[in-house]
Amino acid sequence: MKKIIIDTDPGHDDALAIMLAVKSGMFDIKAITTVAGNSSIENTTRNARFVLKLLNREDIPVYSGSDRPLKRELIKAVVHGNSGLEGLDPENEPNLSGDAVEKILHIIKKNLGEITLVTLGPLTNIAKAILKDRDNMLNLKEIVIMGGAIKVPGNKNRVAEFNMFVDPEAADIVFRFPIKKTLIPLDACNNVRLFKKDFQKIENENLRIPVISMIEPYIKNIAEEEGVDGALMYDPLTVYYLINPDCCRKRDYDIVIETEGEHTCGMTVAELRLKKSVSNNITVVEEIPEGKFKEDFIRFLSMS
C-alpha cells in the first residue's frame, strides 16, 4: 500500500476524497493534517474528524495546522457553507493540536523515501515544513497537489485556482522545492461532474445517506456561485490519480507562481512558448477519464 499523508481543508470535495482514499483500501494513511482554506481551521479540523468517524476510521490521526496563509489574511471559499460541510454541519469538537507541521516532518523521518504527501488545500503547512526542515522534506517520495489552472480560467480570479490563490507565497515555496511533484489542475477537473443520481448509486447506506445530505447544498452552491451544473470533484480526482495513474494523460511543465499581480495573484504560470531550454519542475495531469473515475468512485464508496 502507498504510504500517504493527506493535507486538507474539508470542504465537501475534500470529504469525498478522504472517503475514496479510505474505501479504496490502497493507502496506508499515516495522518490527516488540516489547514484553513475552504473554512476556518476549527471547521476544517472538525469536519476531518467527522468524516473519519463516518468511515469508522478514527484510528487515523488528525493533526491541525495553519489557521491562515503565510503572509495574507484568510479568504475562505463560499460553496462549502458556514460550517465548511453544509448539509452535515458537524458539531463535534475540533480538538486542535496545532502540530501538523511537526507531525509531517516526524512521519517523513520515520519513513524515509516512502511518503507521498497529498495536498487538497492551500499549501501553507507544506511551505512551513520546508522552511522548518528542508533537508528532511527532501526525504519525501512525492508531493501530489490539487490546484492550479494551466490552459483554462481560474475559479477564484480570472486566472488563479483557489488553493493557489489563498496562499501564493506558500505555493511559490513548494513549486520551487526540488522534489518530485505532480499537479492535478482545473484543466483535468472541470470536465468531471457528478450529480445526485450518481451518488444515489452508492450501495453502502452508511455513506450514501450523509453523502446525499451534503452533496445537495454543495451542488446548489456551485450552481449559484460558479454557474456550473453538478458536483465538482477536484480533491477526489487528486486521490484517484494515485489509485489509477496509468489512465491519466500527463505532461511535464515549467511552472512558476505569480505572487504580485493585482489581477493575476495565485496564477500557475506555465512556460508554453516553444522554447528549447525549459527547466520542467512538475508533472501535470491534463486529463482524467470521467467515466472510469465515476465508475471506480461509486464502486469504492459502495464497499462495506
Residues engaged in binding ligand RIB (CB under 6 A): 9, 11, 13-14, 37-38, 77, 120-121, 146, 155, 161-163, 234-235
Cell 479504496: give the residue. 24
Specify the residue, 167 or 303, whose C-beta has the smaller distance to Ca ion. 167
Angle, CA 47 vertex, CA 44 and CA 48 arms, to 5°? 85
Q: Does 120 bind Ca ion (CB under 5 A)?
A: yes
Mark 233-262 with x for binding to Ca ion (rule: CB under 5 A) and - for no binding: --x---------------------------
The set of residues, in sequence order, having a beta carbon less than 8 Å from that of 247 and lying 6+ positions away, is 288, 289, 292
Specify the residue, 24 or 38, whose C-beta has the smaller distance to ligand RIB. 38
Instruction: For the CB of residue 161, give the shortest distance to ligand RIB in the complex, in Å.
Output: 5
Instruction: For the CB of residue 80, give the shortest distance to Ca ion in the complex, in Å.
Output: 9
Instruction: For the CB of residue 193, give the shortest distance to ligand RIB in the complex, in Å.
Output: 14
By CB atoms closer than 10 A (0-12, 13-18, 19+), residue 25 is: exposed
Q: Looking at 44-133, which runs of residues are DSSP E strands?
A: 62-64, 115-119
Specify the residue, 21 or 105, whose C-beta has the smaller distance to ligand RIB. 21
Instruction: For the CB of residue 77, give the shortest distance to Ca ion in the complex, in Å.
Output: 8
Query: Among residues 7, 11, 18, 81, which is the contact residue for Ca ion, using CB under 5 A?
Result: 11
Q: Does 14 bind Ca ion (CB under 5 A)?
A: yes
Instruction: For the CB of residue 109, give the shortest distance to ligand RIB in the complex, in Å.
Output: 27
Specify the residue, 14 or 172, whose C-beta has the smaller distance to Ca ion. 14
185 binds, among ligand RIB, Ca ion, none (CB under 5 to 8 A by kind): none
| Helix locations, 195-248, DSSP H | 196-199, 205-226, 234-243
DSSP string, 130-177: HHH-HHHHTT-SEEEEE---SSS--SSSSS--HHHHH-HHHHHHHHHS
**Do residues 139 and 112 touch, judged by C-beta distance below 8 A?**
yes
Specify the residue, 120 or 207, whose C-beta has the smaller distance to Ca ion. 120
Q: Which of 197, 153, 166 is nearest to 71 (CA)?
A: 166
